[in-house]
Every structure is written in C-alpha cells, then in structure tokens.
C-alpha cells in the first residue's frame, strides 16, 4: 500500500471516530453556528445612554430634555430639582447628569448662577465619552441658534475616572476574565485527564460522598485562582495606577467563590464530555459567550434586553460589576455581597449538575 493510501485510510478511520462522537461533533459544528447567530444579533457598537436632568424649574428641565431627545442614542430617564441629576449618576441610575444653573433676572437678581454642569460616570469611558461629546455640541449649538455670545458656561465633571483612561474601564474586568479562563481549563482538563487515566474511579471508592470528593479536589485550585486574581489586581494597581481603596479587601474575598463557580462548571463539562479534547472544546464554548455578554468587551448597556438577561447568568457579569464598583467607584462590602449571591447560586447549580453527570457516567 502506498503512502497516500495509508494516510487516507487512517484519515477515514479518524473521520468515522469523529462522526460517532456526538459531543465532539456538536462542539465543532453546532456551537460555532449558534455563536455566530448569538453574537451577530447581540453585539451592538452603540446604545442609548441614560441621562438625568436637574433644573430650578420644571420648564427649564423640560426644555433641556426636549433638546436632548433630538440627539442620537440619548434617553432622558429622570427630571428633578437641582442636585438630583448628580445624585442619580452616583446611584448608578444614569450615566450622565445635567445640572442646569439658576439664571439671574430682574425677578431673581440674587440667583447664584454658575456654569451648566455635565456630571459623567466615566467608569465606562467607552459608553459615556461619545454621548458627552454630543451633549456638549448640542449645548454650544443651542447657544448659537439663540444668538447668545456668552451663556452661563459649561463644565464637565468626570467621576470615578477623571482622566477618562480607557484602560481603567476594562482592567477590573480583566481580573475576572483571567481567573475564569484558568479555572474552567483547570477544572475541565484535570477531571478529564483523571477519567482517561482511571484515577477518578479510584477516588470514588473512598469513604466520602461524591460532593466531598469534588470539593476536596477544588480546594487547591481555588487557592491558585485566588492568588492569580490578586496578582492581576496588584499588577493593575502598580503598573496602570488603578485606585486602591480600603474596600479592595471585599473584592479579594469574592475571588474564592468566583474561582469555585468556574471550577465546578469545568468539572460538569468534563463529566459530560468524557475526553480531554471534548472538555477543552466545551470550556471554550462557555467562556467566549461569557466574555462577550458580560460587559467586558462591550458595555453591558449596549446589549439588547434578551442578551442582557442571558448575560446575567454568567458569574463574570457580576464579578465585573463588583470589581468596577470597588476599584473605581469606591464602594465596599454592599456591592460585593449583592453580586456574590448570583455567583453562589451558579456555583451551587454547577455542583449539582457535576454530581449528576458524574453519577450517570459511573452508574
């Protein structure tokens, strides 16, 4: 038999093995097609930005809101008294707040006046910068149309990221992405390797419950993932000058839970996949949508409603919110505990699914 015929014979055998493996075939063909449809419909480069308006009178607020509604991708979500727009930005209810000054007149000659203030949440500079530029342009255009040479002035105040550094917008999320990929890979490949080598079955005969064996296997990797996350956070603080608030301890305390959630997911993937190759493909099939729908690569607010609902399932979405809240906005344990609940629920579901898959495969 010639060399080409031998090669083709081996290739034919490999094709037959591949076609008989439903999981591998699904991951190689079906998952990429689903991802194309998902990302093609979910990813948007731009989206509506929530704006709050505060003015001395309701008429002033409505006039400003009417001008803003003419701008592309700007939605007025609140109108109120002076100070309410800035408060809405600090509460996270709006990305941009507009504070209209009280104008001096014969009826009110003692009015304080002051500049027309634009208060911007710059923790996500990619989302807010373009909208801020459109609002500033609309302000100067309105003055020109009214023929006013000198208006009350314009002052833009950038909160949480005064220099509008784009790296600050994604560095908090990068902590979670790094840990997520490492933990899914470790969880899925370690179990798949032990299954192929036959050592996993030996662990199951120990006088311990399946979930106890699972958690015992997780602990060393949780420690590794926590150290890795702390190292990435320290690098961002030292090299890229990320703020280091005292509440960073709260974020560090969230890392072990975040690691555990993705480790048990990796174990569930490996228990279903049976082989290391299929486990690796399953891990990739999870973390790519997680990165795209969590707000890491694209602002979460730019996603359509159905994609946001899907993104809420991923632990990375909640870790990014906690990391941004702690490192950029200076929030503490409240934001961490709020985001820890869905991560813990994901981890609990992962343990249940991993145990169920493992019981079926060994039963």
CATH number for the domain including 87? Answer: 3.40.1710.10
Least Cα distance to 244 among 234, 253, 254 occurs for 234
Q: 173 or 194, which is more confident?
A: 173
* 3-state SS track over 126-181: HHHHHHHHHHHHHHHHHHHHHCCCCCCCEEEEEECCCCCCHHHHHHHHHHHHHHHH
Residues 229 and 139 in one domain: no
Q: What is the pLDDT of residue 341?
A: 97
Q: Is 32 within the bounds of a domain?
A: no
Q: What is the pLDDT of residue 178?
A: 93
Q: Mean pLDDT across the chain, nearest whole number?
A: 81
Residues 109 and 242 in one domain: no
pLDDT for residue 24 is more than 80: no
What percent of the chain is modeled with pLDDT above 70?
A: 79
Least Cα distance to 251 among 144, 176, 165 occurs for 176
H or E element: which one contains 360?
helix 333-362
Q: Mean pLDDT over residues 6-11, rounded?
A: 77
Selection from 116-125, 222-231, 279-288 with the highest mean pLDDT: 222-231
Q: Mean pLDDT over residues 103-123, rounded?
A: 66
pLDDT digits 0-9 by tens, 180-200 = 999 998 888 877 676 666 666
- From 103, 131, 159, the end of a domain falls on 159
Q: What is the pLDDT of residue 179?
A: 95
Q: Mean pLDDT over residues 168-183, rounded?
A: 92
Q: Is 24 within the bounds of a domain?
A: no
Q: Is 96 within the bounds of a domain?
A: yes
Residues 149 and 207 in one domain: no
Q: Alpha-carbon distance 52 to 57, whole Å?
A: 14
Q: What is the pLDDT of residue 106?
A: 38
Residues 187 and 313 in one domain: yes
pLDDT digits 0-9 by tens, 331-361 = 889 999 999 999 999 999 988 887 787 666 5
Residues whose CB falls within 8 Å of the CB of residue 264, separated by 6 or more in sequence, listed in order: 187, 214, 218, 347, 350, 351, 354
Residues 53 and 126 in one domain: yes
pLDDT digits 0-9 by tens, 61-106 = 888 888 888 888 788 888 888 888 899 888 888 889 999 887 644 3
pLDDT band for 107, please (50, 70, 90 cuts).
very low
What is the span of the domain harbouring residue 175? 166-362
Residues 189 and 213 in one domain: yes
Q: What is the pLDDT of residue 299?
A: 78
Q: Is 20 within the bounds of a domain?
A: no
């Amino acid at each position: 038999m010639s060399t080409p015929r031998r090669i083709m014979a081996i290739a034919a055998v490999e094709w037959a093995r591949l076609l008989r493996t439903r999981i591998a075939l699904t991951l190689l063909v079906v998952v990429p097609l689903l991802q194309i449809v998902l990302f093609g419909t979910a990813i948007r480069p731009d989206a509506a930005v929530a704006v709050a308006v505060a003015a001395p009178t309701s008429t002033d607020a409505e006039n400003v809101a009417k001008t803003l509604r003419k701008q592309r991708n700007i939605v007025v979500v609140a109108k109120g008294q002076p100070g309410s727009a800035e408060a809405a930005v600090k509460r996270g209810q709006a990305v941009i707040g507009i504070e209209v000054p009280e104008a001096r007149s014969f009826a009110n000659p003692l009015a304080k006046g002051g500049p027309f203030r634009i208060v911007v949440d710059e923790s996500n500079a990619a989302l807010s910068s373009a909208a801020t530029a459109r609002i500033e342009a609309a302000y100067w255009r309105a003055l020109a149309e009214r023929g006013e040479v000198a208006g009350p002035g314009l002052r833009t105040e950038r909160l949480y990221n005064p220099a509008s550094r784009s790296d600050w917008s994604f560095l908090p999320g990068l902590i979670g992405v790094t840990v997520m990929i490492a933990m899914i890979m470790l969880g899925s490949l370690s179990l798949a390797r032990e299954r192929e080598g036959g050592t996993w079955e030996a662990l199951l005969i120990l006088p311990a419950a399946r979930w106890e064996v699972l958690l015992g296997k997780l602990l060393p990797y949780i420690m590794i993932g926590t150290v890795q996350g702390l190292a990435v956070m320290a690098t961002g603080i030292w090299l890229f000058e990320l703020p280091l608030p005292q509440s960073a301890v709260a974020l560090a305390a969230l890392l072990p839970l975040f690691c555990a959630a993705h480790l048990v997911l990796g174990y569930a993937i490996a228990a279903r996949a049976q082989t290391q190759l299929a486990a690796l493909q399953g891990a990739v099939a999870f973390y790519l949508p997680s990165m795209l729908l969590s707000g890491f690569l694209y602002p979460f607010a730019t996603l359509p409603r159905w994609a946001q609902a899907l993104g809420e399932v991923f632990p990375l979405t909640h870790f990014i919110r906690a990391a941004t809240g702690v490192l950029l906005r200076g929030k503490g344990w409240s934001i961490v505990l709020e985001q820890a609940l869905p991560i813990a629920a994901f981890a609990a579901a992962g343990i249940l699914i991993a145990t169920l898959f493992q019981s079926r495969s060994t039963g």
